[in-house]
Structure 1
Amino acid sequence: MADSPARQRDRSATEASIVEAGEHILLRDGFPGLNVQTLAAQAGCDRKLVYRYFDGVDGVVERIAARACAELVRSLDSVPRVEHEGLRGFARESLTAWVAALRASPLTLRLMAWALVESSPLLNRIESDRSAVLQAWMRERRPRLKTAPGGDAVALNAVLLAAVQHLALSASARPGLGGVALDDDGWARIEAALDRLLVAFPD
């Protein structure tokens, strides 16, 4: 027997409350504070509903991660399209667009920080899904660019990508890193430094 429309609405509202509670706890307390008891208390519902609707905390985290990925997609899609003639300009656009998307998504940064200190099939899947968001955007934006025959542009891009992701993570936890303040002026310095580093890419 199917649920009545009223019951479906109640379930949808409770699910939304639990997911919002999870986001609030994750942003306020970090992942150590996220458990069935705190979710239920924050959402104002019975703990049984967390299991019934999400099969426990992992189901809530999956829903949070999906919403965080959607934030990244919206941020990346808002970047104006530019036709680049070489990899250098495209690499700069990709790196700056990605770090801007990360900085605009505190939930993503919390999930990334969690994955740095704990490994699980769920967190590995979330990391893979996040990476797929950037890879899909990059493939769509550079359909006609080819990797130069000399050097390893892919590995260099991976190193720079790891660097900007670490900077974005650091900015969510401390005011500076390596002598550079992670404020607006500091990010302008970081972008200028990226320009210097990207000379290794063909123009």
Structure 2
Amino acid sequence: MIKKTIRIMIILSSVGLVSCAPTKIPWNASPDWSLKNGIIYTWDQSVGDSCVAWMANEDWVSVRVLVDSQCKGSNAADSDKSRGLEYSSTFDEMLFHGYWPWTADLFDDLIVFDDKGSWVETLPCPNSLSQQQIKEMQAVVKDALGNTKTNGEKRVLNRISERLAVTDGSKLASSQFGCKHDPFDPSEGQRMARENPWID
């Protein structure tokens, strides 16, 4: 009887968490609760042989667009070996992964210091994307737009599509976790303003 009661409580708690999800999060998202981060929701969108993996709360979303991997539950969002991109709404940042090796040592070698040991600059990404690779990512994003469930998802996918449309695969910036599209650098003429499309 006690085991049955506990099961019912767990089911009701899960239903309660899902029913309390913000409207921009689809009903089938899986909630995960922690003291540090509160409730984080995850869900996947299958797009043919590709996948769009989502992780979000009320204020931010992180999206993985995987062009050569099918969705495999929560593991899809953690797949760094798959080709594609990761978009963070918090920083309006688009980071590419799986197209070339990237390690902390490679990144460290791109940091330039002066003779006093102070940071001067970080050299651009030594790698590039072809127009075909950018088109493949764009195709997955556009297909995913066709089966979105919420306006929040649509806004984010439209932002990723907009960013891919102005991405020059030969002019990528370097970051700790890989090469990224950075159209916000003032030296580039401030081509775009940052935004967080996840926020209404």
TM tier, smaller: under 0.3
TM-score by length of 2: 0.25
Q: TM-score, normalised by structure 1?
A: 0.25
